[in-house]
Structure 1
Amino acid sequence: MSASFRTLPVCLFLLLSSPGQAAPPAAAPKPAPTRTVSGPTDAERYARRCQSQTAQRIARPQGTMLWGTKRGWDEKPTDERTSVLVSVALDAPRQAEAGVKALRFENGRLWPVPAPEAGATASDVVGTVLQGTASDGKPVEVALCGAEPAADDPTRVFYRIEAWNPVAREWENPCVALERSPAPRALAVGGVWDASGAHADAADRITFACENGAISKCILWGYAPWATRDGQSLAGLHQACTRLARADYCGNGRSHTRQDTTIDIYDGLGVLERATEVTREWDPAKGSFEAAWAPDGATCLSRTRDGRALEGILQECPGRFQADTADAREDAEACTVRRGDVKPGAALLRNLSYGPPKADPARAR
């Protein structure tokens, strides 16, 4: 990993896309005979998978995302900890190439089982329809429409996925689009995440982490959970990163950050190091210590990222943090509150961010 990548500060962006232009009013159609509406058959639905779809119907700020997926298939406001797709089963595909009984996950890639006799490629699973699950436990079918090896790491594969939308009765990309990523792909990641943001290993289930969600971003920043560094697994750092990326201080799945927030992440293994040079996105002189992070949330907190009162966090997770009475560290990593239920050294990641905007004395007059 180059030094320029390791010192590159991380920018977190929330969705703020614009709805497409509405079509002009069409002439009123002739009345059609009344008939009973029923859903398409499995064969009809599978035949429609991986075709070009209509433009994004839901275009609104989505907050900071864990999975990077839509919260619901309709436009009703819902909790940020909900998702139309949280996990996918690898066994018993709903549709697959002849002879394929299941898929296998290994180091960020999916393989057919049994493997083809010839050399296997990332595209061998394209066209497969898997059984997924939404955050409310309802089933959702997921089609693999494309497989693209990453330019910087051919062993890592981006998948273009579609899920069956039972509301619109069509296949749709479940990933939330951003302006810089209007057709987001997904990474396959082992195990599942629940509404609290906790990860659990599962041999027969994976998560499709969309590009604009924290699970995927943390992999792209260098914390692939299947990778190692100096003999140490990065799984714990990846999980801690998902908390850090969303400012999930309490470890309950709730984010505390705002749109276009810039942060600088660093760790003890040197995967990411503190930025020392000024860039368009980050000025080290303006950043200050925010928090230290473990897989289950912040271990100590200096201040909030979005400027809200620290008391609000203490009320959200009562008893989790206590006032820090330790002497300030020489490297300015001073905590205002600290957890007493974790051992020293439990923090795997730390971050800097810009403090809340200072009040304008002229406006205060």
Structure 2
Amino acid sequence: MIGIHRTCLKMWIGAVMLTTASAFAEPPEPPEPPPTNGAQGTQLHGTDRFESINIPLASVEPSAPPAGVTCAPAKALALGGRVAALQGCSGGSPPVTSRFLEGPALVGTSFRAPFEGRSVKLVITDARCHVPIKGPSKPNCTPEEILDGTAYWEYSVTASTNDGTTMPLCPLGSGFALPVPNAWSAGGALLPNPDYFTFACTPKNEGTDELPFFVGGGVIAKCIDWGYPPWAGAYTPDLALKFHQLCTRMAMADYCGEGRSNTLDGTPLFFMGVQNAIAISTNGRLPKWLGKDNGYSLEAVWKMSACGDVRPLCLGKTRWDSLPLEATCVNRALDLHERTQPCEDVDMGALAGTTLLVSYSLFIDHALVSFRANGTSFVTTSAVTVDLKTHSWGPDVSAYGLDLDGNGVADVSPFVPMRMEGPLLSAKLPDEILKRMGKLITPLYRCSDGLGHYLLTNNSACDPRQGYTRLVVNGDRGIEGYLYSAVDTTSTGQRRPLKLWHHPTLGLFATSTEAPDGYTFVRDLGYLPSVGQLPGRDL
């Protein structure tokens, strides 16, 4: 095996394991699911502490049989969206020869999974019929619906560690989880393995059908409901696995394929397959915006490489301009198929027949970048643009330029980029999110004195004694974006304070997370969110 790329080797092993399922000739690809409204997430399973666990089916321990019945050790099976336990039995009146446990009959059944060098015990405490997040259907989980795959049981599960602590496996969202076959790597890769399954927590939609806002849960469950489960149904087994992996990477905005999210939980998403993407294209080029008031910006085209890695073919221009560098590509550089051109310039017609997904996002976070001129004058803003031909990725922000007039072209300016401060909640947060976050966030106002000096502050009057007034860009009322107004004391270090500084001699202001030379501290303005953090915890 010397010389085989590690990722290719992984996919070769997976292919061997799927040989039986893929041995027959594949029928023509069916029509893809229609374009879908959804919301991005930051976790695969939505279990917080237990994201890394894979559950051995062999660890099943069913509830006690009826009085007078003796049963052999149980065997568990995971198939499609189902998990069930089977036992051979004897005794009882009338005689019981076997037990088949699924749905409510699984309540009391436990599994044990490796966890942090020890193990965690998972106990099913309740069962109900899963209500999909997409569509009006409310199945009843009749035997016919279960058999034909139009309905699934979901389960409430507790997790108990060796130290005796017991907690809900799904701390947010619906509180229930779907059983999903196969295992997952720590880097978010789907690992076909018939001996394992996982629990995928389901989210709770606290928004509307038109503008969903999903709290809690994980992207695995979302992708299942969006029409991309990791098992055969509308697609062959191999194609179903590919679409599911594409979907989970897309839903987490996992641009580097490392299992690390580059979005904020609940970010509204609109996505489609290649057939629908070509249908909305003009001369093969995707539109830059979609939706009401062109609110959704082209985010990415997601494609699987020959070795099975999922990464974007490209990013949209707006995503490049708004993308924070925090929490991205820890172990490798951002490796796009199309490195120096945005998705708007890619010919979708040439990709007909390719297995891919196209995503549009209502971005709720933007990159906040500090610029400096003449060593003492500063401006901190999310009104930036990126030169893709010179962008080297990582901490280098030299490819960023000011775009204070909002025309998508770098301003002619003495200011040069200094530092990426982090993500900032967008000034265009949807009304549903603004309503829910309420007093937990505070606006930042973009101000100027008309003399080339700038101020970013939480004072809506822009410190008028200094001659500053709000600087409006594209009708945004001079609001740069939103900060958290208080730090989450349970997530120490996950949010950094953004501070206002003042130069006592020059009378100039600076807004940054670090003190500029010669400037003195004025006040804390609020806290920057962390990429991958869950605003849903604050709602």
TM-score by length of 1: 0.64
Alignment of 1:53-202 (within 5 A): 64-71=42-49, 83=50, 86-98=53-65, 99=71, 100-114=73-87, 117=98, 121-134=102-115, 136-151=116-131, 152-153=138-139, 154=141, 155=146, 156-167=152-163, 169-178=164-173, 181=174, 184-202=175-193
Verify the 8 A CA contact 2:61 2:74 in the aligned structure 1: no
Q: Is the alpha carbon distance of 1:309 and 1:175 closer, same or farther for their aligned partners in structure 2, counting shifts above 3 Å? A: closer
Q: Which amino acid aligns with 1:141?
A: K
CA root-mean-square deviation: 3.8
Structure having the higher helix fraction is 2
Verify the 8 A CA contact 2:187 2:259 in the aligned structure 1: yes
TM-superposed deviation, 1:254: 1.0
Residue aligned with 1:91, SS: helix
Distance in 2 (alpha carbons) for counterparts of 1:315 and 1:101? 43
Q: 1:323 aligns with which of 340, 344, 360?
A: 340
TM-score by length of 2: 0.45
Aligned residue pairs, count: 278
Give structure 1 stretches of 5+ with no counterpart: 14-63, 72-82, 275-280, 334-342
Match of 2:268 in 1: 262
Residue aligned with 1:66, SS: coil
Q: Does 1:354 align with 2:334?
A: no
Q: 1:286 aligns with which of 287, 295, 305?
A: 295
Match of 2:370 in 1: none
Task: For residues 136-195 of structure 1, give each alpha carbon's deviation from its aligned partner in whole angstroms, at most 9, with x where no partner exists.
Answer: 34311111112222244532110111111444x2432121314xx3xx111111111121
TM-superposed deviation, 1:328: 2.2
Q: Is the alpha carbon distance of 1:315 and 1:300 closer, same or farther for their aligned partners in structure 2, counting shifts above 3 Å? A: farther
Verify the 8 A CA contact 1:292 1:347 in the aligned structure 2: no
Give structure 2 stretches of 5+ with no counterpart: 1-32, 66-70, 89-96, 132-137, 147-151, 203-216, 281-289, 367-381, 384-403, 406-445, 449-470, 472-539
Q: Which amino acid aligns with 2:169?
A: P
Q: Is the alpha carbon distance of 1:138 and 1:128 closer, same or farther for their aligned partners in structure 2, counting shifts above 3 Å? A: same
Q: Which amino acid aligns with 1:176?
A: P
TM-superposed deviation, 1:106: 1.5
TM-superposed deviation, 1:309: 5.2
Greater Rg over alpha carbons, structure? 2
Q: 2:323 aligns with which of 308, 319, 329?
A: 308
Residue aligned with 2:248, SS: helix
Verify the 8 A CA contact 1:11 1:262 in the aligned structure 2: yes
Match of 2:234 in 1: 229
TM-superposed deviation, 1:114: 3.2
TM-superposed deviation, 1:299: 2.6
Higher RCO (C-alpha under 8 Å, 6+ residues apart): 1
Match of 1:16 in 2: none
Q: Which amino acid aligns with 1:243?
A: R
Verify the 8 A CA contact 1:86 1:208 in the aligned structure 2: no
Q: Is the alpha carbon distance of 1:10 and 1:149 closer, same or farther for their aligned partners in structure 2, counting shifts above 3 Å? A: same
Distance in 2 (alpha carbons) for counterparts of 1:121 and 1:311? 43
Verify the 8 A CA contact 1:257 1:305 in the aligned structure 2: no
Q: Which amino acid aligns with 2:168?
A: N
Task: For residues 194-217 of structure 1, give each alpha carbon's deviation from its aligned partner in whole angstroms, at most 9, with x where no partner exists.
Answer: 210011112111011111111111
Q: Which amino acid aligns with 1:201?
A: P
TM-superposed deviation, 1:291: 0.8
Verify the 8 A CA contact 1:209 1:215 in the aligned structure 2: yes
Q: Is the alpha carbon distance of 1:248 and 1:282 closer, same or farther for their aligned partners in structure 2, counting shifts above 3 Å? A: same
Distance in 2 (alpha carbons) for counterparts of 1:325 and 1:185? 39
Q: Which amino acid aligns with 2:178?
A: L
Verify the 8 A CA contact 1:290 1:301 in the aligned structure 2: yes
Structure having the higher strand fraction is 2
Verify the 8 A CA contact 1:112 1:124 in the aligned structure 2: no
Distance in 2 (alpha carbons) for counterparts of 1:202 and 1:230? 19
